[in-house]
Amino acid sequence: MRDRIIVALDAGSGHEALSLARQLHGHAQWVKVGMTLYYAEGPPVVHALRDMGFDVFVDLKLHDIPHQAQGAARSLASLGAGMLTVHASGGEQMIRAAVTGATEGAREAGLAVPKLIAVTVLTSTDDAALRSLGVSRSTADQVELLGRIARDAGADGVVCSPHEARAMREAWGGEALIVTPGVRPAGSVADDQSRVMTPAEAIAQGASHLVIGRPITGVPDPAQAFEAIVATMEGAA
């Protein structure tokens, strides 16, 4: 189960992120580099984490014209990222371009091609938030629509909340990546995530990977917190 947890290193500096990574070394396999960390530190932090032996999920949620998405995906793939994200709302042409870019970048660098997954609806978004943006569909229906676009464009999977994981698993089949943020151990303090489940519940719903940040990185002993989550998942398996 431990290889299904992606620890979000949502730190503001490379020093802080690498300190967390050192504490998690030998426990976690996957770590996530998001916008805050990447914009602060750039490619060197990805290289440093890979050198430590981690698989790195670079989560920048690319969303631009196809030419720019292709170039950005090529650059990120050349760093050795294991997963990349685009926004599914960028449309089929943009997603296809990013898939092409990721393939080009990895092959030019002699690396494995990263998995490219498409973000459907952010886990901080609910039906009311969608309505405020002029989207009349429910969250579930919007995830279904964007998931279908991503699948047709050749993505390797989607990012969705655990509440949509079962529907995405049924639509995509057994090999797809269904990556779920909004995962919180029982008893966690509420935060800005709206659509959440426990790790065991998310796995039961069909998630392939769980993105977990603050419940691991925001406590005094991240490794202990990580192992406690793994134990709850294995106990429910």
Model confidence pLDDT, tens digit, residues 92-143 = 999 999 999 999 999 999 999 999 999 999 988 999 999 999 999 999 999 9
How much of the chain, in percent, has pLDDT values that exceed 90? 87
Is pTM beyond 0.75 here?
yes
Q: Which of 4, 50, 61, 166 is catalytic?
A: 61
CA distance 82 to 174: 19
Which among 199, 125, 206, 230 is positioned nearest to 158, based on CA atoms? 206
| β-bridge pairing 157-159 and 209-212 | unpaired
**Residue 153 pLDDT class (50, 70, 90 cuts):** very high
* CATH number corresponding to 2-236: 3.20.20.70
Query: What are 22-59's pLDDT values in tens digits?
Result: 999 999 999 999 999 999 999 999 999 999 999 999 99
pLDDT at 32: 98
For 161-178, letters b (16+ CB in 10 Å) and e give bbbbbebbbebbeeebbb
What is residue 233's predicted lDDT score, i.e. its pLDDT? Answer: 87
Is residue 188 predicted with pLDDT exceeding 80? no
Active site includes 115? no
| Domain residue limits, the chain | 2-236
Collect all residues with Cβ–Cβ distance below 8 Å to 186 and sequence separation of at least 6. 198, 232
Whether the pLDDT of residue 236 is over 70: the answer is no
Q: What angle do CA 6, 96, 38 make, to 5 degrees?
A: 40
- pLDDT score, position 22: 97
CA 98/CA 69 separation, integer angstroms: 5
For 121, 137, 150, the CA distances from 134, given in Å and listed in that order, are: 14, 9, 21
pLDDT at 192 over 90: no
